[in-house]
Structure 1
Amino acid sequence: MNISHIRLLNQQLVSPQYSDVHDLVSWMGMLQAQEYKMMRWAVGTRVKKPSMAAFREAYDMGRIVRAHLFRCTWQLVAAEDYRWMLSLCTDKNRLAIRGYLAYHGKRLEEREYERANDLIRRSLEGKGSVSKDTLLRRLKELGLVDDAHTMSIYLRRAEADGVICSGVLDNRQNTYALVDDRIPQVPDMLREEALALLVRRYFQSHAPATLEDFVWWSNLGVGECRAAIESIRSELIAESYAGETYFIHRDCRVRGYRRQTILLPSYDEYLIGYKSRYHAFEEEFRHRVHSSNGLFYPVILHDGQVVGNWHPKQEVSFFKDEMQPDIADAMLRYRRFLDSE
């Protein structure tokens, strides 16, 4: 079993199966969207014909949404998945926000969050999408004023509470809109049903992967994750590799791989979607792939292995002299994506 090759197929990085941006995001379950600009390429590189215009259309129409969800970090999800996904991670995110504040020696009471949420709603009602700067200015006019760090916490908590999510795409900064204005209501889903759907999406798009990988990706409890896997166990094939059990969903592709050089954006799912990443790069180059405090860099991928770094405005650099594949086609694909709008 070549784990890297199968992952590339199921993550749609090789021989992508989707033309529609929304359908690709739905297949992936969620896509890390930490970098506001790089998230566009994370989607673009996974569709048949990368198009910035297609990404913008799906984003502006609200078919895909950016919000703080699992691991209390930015992700892109399909709009119809937003509410049931939020229900799975709301409590964890509230705890994370509380812990983050405590680490910095500060505490906010629930009544303060409630007041902030009310003022945020008032600031956005009837306004559609507004930039972060505009929203903060309106909040100040309504009397919600604090240091920049605390104001960002109020916005983060409003996301965790399902008050706000991303608005239309701005070239420079994130925009916000009211969730109820942007995302249709859907019937409530039992937690067990939502967990089964989440674990199915993960192993369809990220396989081969382990229980530990799913726990990392979802940031849910080990017991809950184990139970979720068992709930779809009939759909999974278990393979033993290097003493670990990897699961492959029955809908996954395991054949059709072709060698390719790919420019991965920072924080890409091919790396950040797993707890263990040794399949993708040699340990001696780990610091060139991600830092000890969670920064993930844009990397050059060749035949499933990270061989160097790239940046849209800087020279590429390779880890070894013998690790220098031709990246001309990959760079051309990226340039065409940028020019497609």
Structure 2
Amino acid sequence: MVRRLGAMQSQDYGPAKWSIGQRTGVDNDTLDRQFDDGQFLRTHVLRPTWHFVHPADLRWLLELTRDRVHMINGFMYRQEGLDRLLRDRADAILIDALKGRRSLTRSELAGALGNANIVAERFRLAYLLMSAEIDGIVCSGPRKGTEHTYSLVEDRVPTVRSLTRDEGLAELTFRYFSSHGPATVKDFGWWSSLTQTDIKRGLQLVGDRLTKEQIGDVACWSSGEALGRRAAGPRVDLLQGYDEYIVGYSQSKYLLDLAGLTKTARRVPFNGVILVDDQVTGLWKRTVTKTAVAVEAVLYESFDNKQLAALEVAVDQHGRFLGRPATFEVAVL
């Protein structure tokens, strides 16, 4: 699933795993083991935020988008006094600290940088490590308990054939529109950080593998594959707040809320998004204990009995993912 989508935004590790489990049926504990084993990685790529990415895709994705992401980070590099010379020096220190297939936590790497007289605190540390990720020096390592670690890319990522720039553009263009489509060129630009020139070239290279269609006044691209028949009755999905279905779009994001419910709704501090038949209908949050998970749902409009039954199915699915019985409460704004 991570490969099919190209990458999956994952700055919040726990909820981001749900985005995989929701689509594949793989449970939370299994995903933790797969992550620790390096079957999928977490690093900064495409944009200045963490993404899950398949190891076989990491190198070419970084090569394709590295310069753009460094450019986006330029203001913060200058703000924190992180010129290229200092970041190269930090990269060398990180390589030395992690050699021998070591995996170290953020605080342990901060100590290594500090011992070399590089101030590595708060945002400065974050952007030093992010720069090293974008440079393809480090990526996620196996967790130490609940703490995340960093490892050298050369220890976690197999050496595979490099893609030429054109091959990378074609591959990422097809992956995005075939998994996220119908979507627009601006959507893809937001998601990938690629320039309009690069995207135009990618579409040329992909050719008739993608289909162009007009939705209102906007040109959209997709694989053109027919969607499966929707099951009878409403379907409810509980999405984590940074799910690709939400953050994977910019220009066409309005299609998630055709009724305009979010424009007039009172704000509540819930991060999750509730969909009914692909439309935003409310927000949710979860409280997880060792023995149970409780879901609080806040709806923009009241659900009928069929929608409430579908919500219960979605809550039960989330409980099975976490390996805990699930309950839920509903309020209407």
Report the TM-score when normalising by structure 2: 0.86
* Residue 35 (structure 1) aligned with residue 35 (structure 2): no
Q: Of residues 194, 211, 222 in structure 2, which corresponds to 1:248?
A: 222
Look up the SS of the partner of 2:280 in the other structure: strand
Identity %: 30
Larger relative contact order (CA 8 Å, sep ≥ 6): 1
Match of 2:36 in 1: 60
The aligned runs of 1:264-275 (5 Å cut-off) are 264-275=239-250
The aligned runs of 1:1-341 (5 Å cut-off) are 24-47=1-24, 49-102=25-78, 105-169=79-143, 172-250=146-224, 252-258=225-231, 259-275=234-250, 276-281=252-257, 282-286=259-263, 297-313=271-287, 315-322=296-303, 325-326=307-308, 327-339=311-323
Displacement of 1:261: 0.7
Report the TM-score when normalising by structure 1: 0.84
How many residues get paired?
Answer: 310
Displacement of 1:147: 3.2
Contact 2:110 / 2:121 at 8 angstroms: preserved in 1? Answer: no
- Segments of structure 2 that go 5 or more residues without pairing to the other structure are 288-294, 325-333
Distance 1:83 1:234, change over 3 A: same
Distance 1:299 1:233, change over 3 A: same
Look up the SS of the partner of 1:174 in the other structure: strand
Match of 1:18 in 2: none
- Segments of structure 1 that go 5 or more residues without pairing to the other structure are 1-23
Separation in 2, partners of 1:289, 1:41: 26
Alpha-carbon displacement from aligned partner over 1:87-122 (angstroms, at most 9, x marks no partner)? 0111112112222234xx443222211111111111
- Which amino acid in the other structure matches residue 255 of structure 1? G
Contact 1:267 / 1:296 at 8 angstroms: preserved in 2? Answer: no
Look up the SS of the partner of 1:162 in the other structure: coil
Distance 1:211 1:41, change over 3 A: same
Displacement of 1:43: 0.6
More strand, by proportion? 2
Q: Which runs of 4+ in 1 moved over 4 A?
A: 286-291
Higher-Rg member (1/2)? 2
Contact 1:123 / 1:139 at 8 angstroms: preserved in 2? Answer: no
- The root-mean-square deviation of aligned C-alpha atoms, in Å, is 2.4
- Which amino acid in the other structure matches residue 317 of structure 1? V
